[in-house]
Chain A
Amino acid sequence: MVPEAVVRFLSGYGGRPVKIMEVCGTHTATALRGGIRSLISDKIRLVSGPGCPVCLASSAYIDRLCALAKDGCVIVSFGDLLKVKGSTGSLLDMKAAGHGVEMVYSPLDAVRIASERPGKTVVLAAIGFETTAPAHALVVETAIQKGLKNLMLLTAMKRLMPALDLLCADPGLDAFIAPGHVAAVTGSAVFEPAAKKHKKPFAVAGFTPESMLLAMYCLVKQIGAGGSGVANLYGEAVRPEGNEKARAVMDKYFEPGDAYWRGLGVIKDSGLYLKKEYMRFDAGSFGRNDEGAEARGCMCGAVLTGRSDPDECPMFGNKCTPEDAYGPCMVSAEGVCGIWYREGAAK
């Protein structure tokens, strides 16, 4: 339970207006489900960041997956990605047209599917942050162990820190609630250089309203005092040094490279790609950075960088709904627009 003093402080806060970004979609959902906005002062604004890998996938990436499906490959993907539209349609459209598209809950299912269908090329849509990348690395490792020749990855994995570093430079953002899942792998210490450099505090939070309220309390106090520390409020899952084993397997097969982020553009070394010696597993992941994809009037880019709330987009809730999504943020379970829509958070 949250100490009453924490809620009293946050609801009674009368200092300068502050903007706190929560980077993970699960935190966005937790905040809405806990009714957190109804508990805090109007002077504290909570905005969402680029914490949903499905929302970040470029339409060039979706197009490549669809083209592979049309060529007779079996595409293996998490469910949310199936609904994201590329320039000509989604993977769900491919599935409906009879092409091979399989929804899975774990990347390792790709290994099973490839073993069961030796005559088919199976392509895993490998998206995610540092949280999921170790599982994708294990897929490569298992494929090597089993001598599978028909399994490939189309990667669009992201490293969070380079993007956070860029967001830290935004003078409109005062502090960050760091994602608990990513921090479990990277460690909480990874946020320290950015916090120091930009003089902005971070708090690693768990996925309960209590943990988020505590994080906000720490952050608002630190902002007032000009602090730039990294508080870890998710000690049960996150250590300063993170999970070395998970990082080791990730580093064995993948290396950093430039990647496109919706709303932020191409960020140096913010992606993870297969290393040269494992390039035989790559299904064409490089250069899928389409900066023109937002010209359609979708505000996902502004939403993903905390510059707009979802309901400020003119399409929110009318032209763009979870049933018929225009932008990726409305599609995914972790997408900010989808969460706002489902939770009825729009004003």
Chain B
Amino acid sequence: MKIRMAHGSGGEETRRLVEEIFVAAFGNDRLRAMEDAAVVKLKGKTAFTTDSYVVTPLFFRGGDIGRLSVCGTVNDLLMMGAKPEYLTAGFIIEEGMDTGTLEKIALSMAEAAKESGAAIVAGDTKVIEGRGGLFINTSGIGTVPEERDISARNCAPGDAIILSGTLGDHHACILSARMGIENSIRSDTAPLCEPVGALLHSGAKVKAMRDITRGGLGTVLNEVCGAAGAGAQIYEDRIPVTAQVKSFCEILGLDPMYMGNEGKFIAVVGKDDADKALAALRETRGGKNASHIGNVCEGKAVTMITAVGGRRTIHTMTGEGLPRIC
């Protein structure tokens, strides 16, 4: 069946669509009650965030817009040291979308939410004219232990910068799909609960964390350093990039430093804690390739020592990068 304008009217068609697809997939009592708002109980400090997802294509190797929309928001909560608790999901569906496709996306969201330990407790559906596309907004709320203080402001010269894994996989995957290039590059879209959990329990003093999405590592490092009032020195040969992504970048002139990821983050840890952090991360599914890529230093600039030994200043990304990547 195709989605028609009537599915967004708020009447019988909407009710059936919500029940048969979304409530069925996300299945929990709060959602099933179909009240105007979900009422939840939270303890202590809370983190609250929102993000919208407009990726094309809707399905890609390693994920889809549904999985992405849950992971993106969950990861933003995790980066503040929060435990993701509840999510909301808003769907803007273009007329003509297949309900089977929508169901697949909803089930994928449910699975990602389960992996994250969060429940989708409220939602909204609108239908607009168009060509069968889909946009999703998710908001998320999580709880932060009272004593935990994770912020880029905490970083100081000497601190170690840990990268959780390979760069560029999501970006290269999306671009390959759009350009019709055959390869086996998979998006890294994943909730970061496991690696973040391991890191927070490793005994390392975790000062700041950032997931490396749009803008890439180059932009994220500049943001962290800007907030900390410090600089950073990193080493190109310590930054993991798979051979396939590397050659993809060489052919297209792309730079992994500015490519988006959906399952990678950097953590800034105390200067003597790099080994502890690495050992913990490497035990996890999302952290096998974790690497100590450099350190926070005095100054303002982010500098890279390149693989051939040159010095390169890393700036915030300018220009638009690749649109509709997430």
Contacts and interface: CB of A to CB of B under 8 A. Distances in A.
Interface residues of B, number: 20
Contacts of B304: 35
Interface stretch (A168-176, A203-211, A299-307): A203-211
Interface in B301-323: 304-313, 315, 317-319
The size bracket of the interface on A is 20 to 34
Tell me the interface secondary structure of chain B in the complex: loop
Given A34-B312, A209-B307, A323 B253 contact: no
A208 B253 contact: no
Given A26-B253, A342-B318, A35 B180 contact: no
B294 to A, nearest CB: 15
Interface string A312-336: 0000000001110000000001100
A33 B250 contact: no
Contacts of B310: 34-39, 209
A35 B319 contact: no
B9 to A, nearest CB: 29
Contact of A209 (B255, B305, B308): B308
Given A34-B310, A334-B253, A105 B319 contact: no
B308 A36 contact: yes
Interface string B46-78: 000000000000000000000000000000000
A107 B8 CA distance: 38
Nearest to A237: B251
Listed residue (A1, A33, A106, A341) with the most chain B CB atoms within 10 angstroms of its CB: A33
A7 B306 CA distance: 13
A7 B310 CA distance: 10
B306 A209 contact: yes
A34 B306 contact: yes
Nearest to B253: A26
Interface string B171-204: 0000000111000000000000000000000000
A323 B321 CA distance: 12
Contact of A207 (B253, B309, B319): B253
Interface of B: 178-180, 250, 253, 255, 304-313, 315, 317-319
Given A7-B308, A29-B253, A208-B250, 18 more contacts: A25-B253, A29-B255, A33-B255, A34-B308, A34-B310, A35-B304, A35-B312, A36-B310, A38-B310, A38-B311, A39-B310, A209-B308, A209-B310, A210-B308, A323-B318, A333-B253, A342-B317, A343-B312
Interface of A: 1-2, 7, 25-26, 29, 32-39, 105-106, 207-210, 213, 321-323, 333-334, 338, 341-344
15 contacts: A34-B306, A34-B308, A35-B304, A35-B305, A35-B309, A39-B308, A39-B310, A106-B179, A207-B250, A321-B318, A322-B319, A334-B253, A342-B315, A343-B312, A344-B315
